[in-house]
């Protein structure tokens, strides 16, 4: 969270909580409103808890009405079938390779391009930057069909390169990096040049070390985008072994209309959720930094 | 003049080297397909490349006048945007203003709770919600029954949330809403943090109540953030696909068809590349108009 630096009072006395309390409405009204917010937050968590509980229910319990809120007879059956009978570990590997690849290339292209757009003058700078920015605003599905035909011609179905290639450039990352580069003082680069550093050295020894926070944010966002991507991976993988985790998991329940196997579906959904949850809990601050850097100038 | 331009290009050579890793894949995997899509939309094009045939604007005229589903898909997509975007903005503004004064620890609990659905893939939530919305054994009907709402709304009968034309779209919109709150909330909190406390102190001294402070200070100063959120959310909601594909497949009776879902059904499943490309171009036109309009509003902030 950005802390306020303007408030003169802050320098004179310890931060008084009443100073931060900007909404001096009656206390009870505020508590009531907060209770509403708390309820909302809990409602948002219900589906996740319900999914976890569902993964331990056998079909008969899962279909019971009224539903058993806590499964009276929890079983590992669903997890067993998910992990042993289905290539779910392979799906997870696929997801890690695809999301990791997208993050890796996204960081490289964003950092290099962001540096040029943020720190260098050259003909075409504005037009190139706006071209990339425009695609940040455009839904990918607009050019999905020709891309599909292109991949078909390349023979890249059921392959990592086919799943990663359209994401080599991460427009939001380029944008975020440009904003970030503009905040690096020119004097640092000037000083480096005076010392006779080459362009590559300037980039490696001055720009890269300073960009670590932005690189972290981009890596995480690109990874999340890659991990959660569904439509393109659905289009690219036709062989069961090449599915990514979300696509594979989605197919668990889709097979066999009428007799949907809920327990395995919920176990699969939980399985797909856990890696992102861990990443979020570990890198929460990067998420917040990444979101806010792009939006607020300076 | 020309020599001057050449010199500037030469001076910028390192810049071109640095943007090359981004620009080359960009041209191959974005620029080329975009143009190709535009061209394809004038063709009758299927799996067999030899049979591709130029048909002018026929795809477009068919889409807008003869297609039984596409106009509904456009309408539904707009309904999604018009429902989810304002709801998300108002809820996030409300929540942000309320939790901003809390301690860091409590604030981060709320931030995490609201951000959790963003982290879990759309697929994950869509699957859980299908289960929750189920007519016979769903949690939602159970909750409604326990609260006496089923008697009130449906004469005690369980509601088929995804099976009825009047509830299906709303049910999907709520799922999309649930993962559209996390990012705006964080942005609003950051926006609030950038407003100096001294403004509120001054307002307090002048005898303003908090309602006035909200309208006269908070809201105007959050304007740039609100515009940014508006753009990002609008574009995200326009792409709504996962919920449709996993929860309703466009049904019942086309009540939940959306543009992107039609593109997938027509282009990928049905292999009608030309016809689907025309749909994509219409989507492009709609999004461009909105993006340009919103960019005009944002211009000052970005350049």
pLDDT digits (tens, 9 = 90+) for B119-155: 888 899 999 999 999 988 899 999 999 998 888 888 8
Give how far Cα A10 sits from Cα of A20, B25, B201, Å: 11, 50, 12
Domains belonging to chain B, first-starting first, are 59-302 (1.10.3720.10)
Interchain proximity A110–B22, CB inside 8 Å? yes
CB atoms within 10 A of CB B54: 11
Contacting residues of B for A291, CB less than 8 Å apart: 183, 186-187, 190
- Minimum-distance CB partner of B186 among A24, A254, A288: A288
Rounded distance between C-alpha atoms, residue A40 and residue B185, angstroms: 13
Query: What confidence score (pLDDT) does residue A71 get?
Result: 85
| Residue B300 pLDDT grade (very low, low, confident, very high; cuts 50, 70, 90) | low
Report the residue of A4, A12, A18, A22 to disrupt the B interface, i.e. the one with the largest count of B CBs within 10 Å: A22
- H or E, element range at B53: strand B53-54
Q: What are the b/e assignments for A230-250, b being 16+ CB within 10 Å? A: bbbbbbbbeeeebbbbbbbbb
Contact A280 B116 (CB under 8 A): yes
Shortest distance, CA A73 to any CA of chain B (angstroms): 18
Q: What pLDDT score was predicted for residue A7?
A: 37
Instruction: Please return the burial class of B258, using the count of CB atoms within 10 Å of its CB with bins 0-12, 13-18 and 19+.
Output: buried
DSSP letters along A37-68, please?
A: HHHHHHHHHHHHHHHHHHTT--HHHHT-SS--
- Residues in B closer than 8 angstroms to A247, CB to CB, are 123
d(CA A23, CA A27): 10
C-alpha distance from B166 to closest chain A C-alpha (Å): 23
- Tell me if B174 sits within 8 A of B91, measured CB to CB: no
Q: What is the pLDDT of residues A218-251, one digit of tens each?
A: 999 899 999 989 999 999 998 999 999 999 998 8
Q: pLDDT of A39-95, one tens digit each?
A: 999 999 999 999 999 999 988 888 888 888 888 888 898 999 899 988 999 999 999
Check CB contact of A277 with chain B, cutoff 8 Å: yes
Q: What percent of chain B has pLDDT over 70?
A: 97
Task: Establish if A12 touches chain B: CB-CB under 8 angstroms.
Answer: no
The nearest alpha carbon in chain B to A59 belongs to: B137
Domains of chain A by residue range? 24-75, 82-295
Look at residue B159 and tell me whether its pLDDT is greater than 80: yes
H or E element that contains A35: helix A27-54
Contact at CB, A250 and B127, closer than 8 angstroms: yes
Q: Do A135 and B122 touch (CB under 8 A)?
A: no
Domain A82-295: which CATH number of 3.40.50.2300, 1.10.3720.10, 3.40.50.9100, 1.20.1290.10: 1.10.3720.10
pLDDT at B214: 85
Q: Which of A23, A139, A295 sits opposite B225 (nearest CB)?
A: A295
């Amino acid at each position: 969270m950005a802390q306020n630096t303007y408030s003169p009072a802050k320098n004179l006395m310890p931060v008084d909580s009443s100073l931060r309390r900007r909404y001096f409405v009656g206390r009870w009204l505020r508590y009531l409103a907060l209770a509403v917010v708390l309820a909302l937050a809990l409602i948002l968590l219900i589906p996740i808890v319900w999914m976890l509980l569902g993964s331990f229910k056998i079909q008969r319990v899962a279909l019971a009405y009224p539903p058993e809120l806590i499964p009276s007879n929890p079983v590992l059956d669903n997890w067993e079938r998910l992990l042993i009978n289905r290539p779910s570990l392979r799906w997870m590997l696929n997801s890690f390779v695809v999301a990791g690849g997208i993050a890796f290339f996204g960081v490289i292209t964003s950092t290099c391009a962001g540096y040029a757009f943020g720190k260098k003058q050259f003909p075409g700078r504005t037009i190139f930057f706006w071209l990339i920015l425009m695609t940040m605003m455009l839904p990918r599905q607009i050019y999905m069909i020709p891309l599909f035909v292109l991949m078909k011609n390349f023979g890249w179905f059921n392959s990592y390169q086919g799943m990663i290639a359209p994401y080599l450039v991460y427009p939001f990352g380029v944008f975020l990096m440009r904003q970030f580069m503009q905040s690096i003082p020119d004097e640092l680069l000037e000083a480096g040049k005076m010392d006779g550093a080459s362009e590559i050295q300037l980039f490696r020894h001055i720009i890269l070390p300073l960009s670590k926070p932005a690189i972290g944010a981009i890596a995480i966002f690109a990874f999340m985008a890659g991990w959660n991507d569904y439509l393109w991976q659905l289009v690219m993988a036709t062989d069961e072994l090449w599915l990514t985790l979300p696509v594979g998991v989605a197919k668990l329940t889709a097979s066999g209309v009428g007799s949907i196997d809920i327990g395995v579906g919920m176990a699969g959904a939980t399985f797909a959720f856990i890696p992102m949850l861990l990443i979020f809990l570990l890198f929460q601050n990067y998420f917040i930094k990444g979101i806010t850097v792009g939006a607020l100038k300076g | 003049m020309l020599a001057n331009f050449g010199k500037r290009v030469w001076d910028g050579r390192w810049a071109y080297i640095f943007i090359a890793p981004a620009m080359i894949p960009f041209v191959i995997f974005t620029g080329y397909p975009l143009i190709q899509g535009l061209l394809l939309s004038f063709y009758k094009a299927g799996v067999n490349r030899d049979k591709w045939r130029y048909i002018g604007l026929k795809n477009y005229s068919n889409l807008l006048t003869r297609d039984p589903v596409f106009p509904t898909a456009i309408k539904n997509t707009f309904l999604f945007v018009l429902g989810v975007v304002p709801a998300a903005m108002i809820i996030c503004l409300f929540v942000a203003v309320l939790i901003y004064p809390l301690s860091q620890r409590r604030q981060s609990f709320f931030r995490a709770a609201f951000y959790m659905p963003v982290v879990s893939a759309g697929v994950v939530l869509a699957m859980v919600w299908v289960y929750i919305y189920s007519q016979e054994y769903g949690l939602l009907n159970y909750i409604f029954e326990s609260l006496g709402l089923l008697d009130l709304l449906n004469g005690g009968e369980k509601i088929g949330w995804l099976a009825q034309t009047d509830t299906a779209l709303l049910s999907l919109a709520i799922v999309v809403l649930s993962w559209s709150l996390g990012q705006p909330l964080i942005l609003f909190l950051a926006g609030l943090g950038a407003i100096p406390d001294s403004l509120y102190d001054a307002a307090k001294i002048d005898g303003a109540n908090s309602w006035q402070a909200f309208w006269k200070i908070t809201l105007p100063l959050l304007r740039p953030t609100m515009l940014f959120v508006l753009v990002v959310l609008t574009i995200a909601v326009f792409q709504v696909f996962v919920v449709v594909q996993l929860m309703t497949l466009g049904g019942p009776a086309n009540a939940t068809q959306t543009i992107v879902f039609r593109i997938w059904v027509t282009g990928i499943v049905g292999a009608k590349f030309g016809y689907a490309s025309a749909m994509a171009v219409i989507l492009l036109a709609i999004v461009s108009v909105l993006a340009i309009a919103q960019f005009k509003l944002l211009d000052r902030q970005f350049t």
